[in-house]
Amino acid sequence: MEKTILTNMIMIEDGNGNVLVQNRMKTWKGLAFPGGKVEKGESFVEAAIREVKEETGLDIKNLQLCGVKQFQTKLDERYIVFLYRTTVYEGTIVSSEEGEVKWLPLDQLKEANTVEDFDQMLKVFLNKDTSELYYTGNTTTVI
């Protein structure tokens, strides 16, 4: 048995080269994809759908799990971020207090003011043959 903290982050693509980014205003500031915490006992996919609805106003489905980001916290818990992507959504974007959301070309995102490690996370989102970003101390490995 391990103590874990379960979270998610979701890349929504519009099919024209744009992705939906959130300008995070709280901790871990900068551009990232929307996401949040999984509630106790909640389905991982349903948690991702709920967070996207709350933070962007969009209803998403057909989520693909791309991989995970993970590290051990100072309390020796395993912190897991489930990384999903989808191209299927309905609705109009509405920002939340978590941060403004907007569409941005994916190739601009790579040079934008993103949150720490975002370039590493993008590898896991985009590369079919990598499924994980993990930390050993301060060192990151993408595998």
Where along the sequence are the contacts to its own copies (CB under 8 A)?
1-6, 40-41, 43-46, 62-68, 70, 72, 77-78, 84, 128-129, 131-132, 134, 141, 143
In the numeric block, the tokens 């992507």 are attached to 85
In the complex with its own copies, the residue whose CB is nearer, 35 or 99, is 35
In the numeric block, the tokens 């003011």 are attached to 113
- DSSP class per residue in 60-97: EES-EEEEEEEEE-TTSPEEEEEEEEESEEES----BT
Cβ of residue 121: shortest distance to its own copies, in angstroms? Answer: 14
Question: First-to-last CA distance in the chain?
Answer: 24
C-alpha span between 101 and 93 (Å, rounded): 7
C-alpha span between 81 and 67 (Å, rounded): 9
Cβ of residue 112: shortest distance to its own copies, in angstroms? Answer: 26
Cβ of residue 46: shortest distance to its own copies, in angstroms? Answer: 7
In the complex with its own copies, the residue whose CB is nearer, 95 or 131, is 131
In the complex with its own copies, the residue whose CB is nearer, 5 or 104, is 5
In the complex with its own copies, the residue whose CB is nearer, 21 or 63, is 63
In the complex with its own copies, the residue whose CB is nearer, 12 or 31, is 12
C-alpha span between 17 and 126 (Å, rounded): 13
Cβ of residue 65: shortest distance to its own copies, in angstroms? Answer: 4
Cβ of residue 97: shortest distance to its own copies, in angstroms? Answer: 24
46, two tokens: 């349903």
